[in-house]
Amino acid sequence: MVRETPVRSPNAGGVVTRSKVFPGVSLPGLGISASPVGLSFGTEIELPAWCRLGTHVSMLGMASAWWIGDWLVYGQDRHKDRYRRGMSEHSLDYQTLRNYAWVARRVEHRRRRRSLSFQHHAEVARLPGEQQTRWLAMAEERAWSRNTLRHQLRGLPETKGRTASPLRLDVPAEHRGRWQQAADEAGMSLTAWAINRLDDAAHG
């Protein structure tokens, strides 16, 4: 059960409910209650305040996948087998968490771009670092969507300097459809998603 703590604004006298799920986030004077399942508007807010709220919420949404991924990478590196306990207490499914961690580990902080989504970074995560930087820069400069970046990346070898050996599989259409849906939900290309799942299976 999530407990909520009222935070009173010293300026406007309004009360903002700040959930422990969103530590350090406050919206003073707006009279908004935040919980894991939504926002409740206790009072009417003007357009400028509504726009500022949208900016805060958007930033939280964009950052959450990175925060979770970095949190998992830290646990994997520092706590080894015990980090799975923390994963089991998270509301997201196991494979989604693994995907977040994989992208966070593959894409260093210095290569990440605020103007691009986590899904953009997932598309280039399989590439060497310098190639990640180049493709992310192009995506940012040309305002590519995730799908546009994915199309641009098609046909690239998996990694620079590695001997390319195409792997061809006869996959029934229904399987490919399920795999593609799972990859889309994870914010990854089908190739990256398949590599991630095969690596998981190989390492037990």
**Who wins on pLDDT, 182 or 99?**
99
Comparing 189 with 144, which gets the higher pLDDT? 144
- Spatial separation of the C-alpha atoms in residues 201 and 159, rounded to whole Å: 21
Whether the Cβ atoms of residue 32 and residue 42 lie closer than 8 Å to each other:
yes
| Single-letter residue type at 184 | D
Tokens of residue 150, six digits = 């994915």
pLDDT at 129 over 90: yes
Identify which of 24-38, 87-101, 131-145, 181-195 has the greatest average pLDDT.
131-145
Evaluate whether 29 touches 9 at the Cβ level (below 8 Å): yes
The model's confidence at residue 167, banded by pLDDT at 50, 70 and 90, is: low
Decide which of 165 and 56 is more confident: 56
Give the pLDDT score at 94. Answer: 79
Beta bridge partners of 19: 4
Q: Tell me which long-range contacts 53-61 makes (C-beta under 8 A, separation of at least 24).
A: 53/27, 56/25, 56/27, 60/22, 60/25
State the amino acid at position 117 in one-letter form. Answer: S
Summarize pLDDT for 107-119 with one digit per residue, the tens.
999 999 999 999 9
Give the mean pLDDT of the chain: 75
Whether the per-residue pLDDT at 15 is higher than 60: the answer is: no
CA distances from 122 to 59, 75, 80, 102, 158 (A): 18, 20, 24, 9, 14
- What are the extents of the domains in the chain? 4-45, 64-156+186-199
- CA dist 87 → 117, 127, 182 (Å): 23, 27, 19
pLDDT exceeds cutoff 70 at 43 = yes
Predicted confidence band of residue 165 (pLDDT cuts 50, 70, 90): low
Q: Give mean pLDDT, residues 153-182.
A: 67
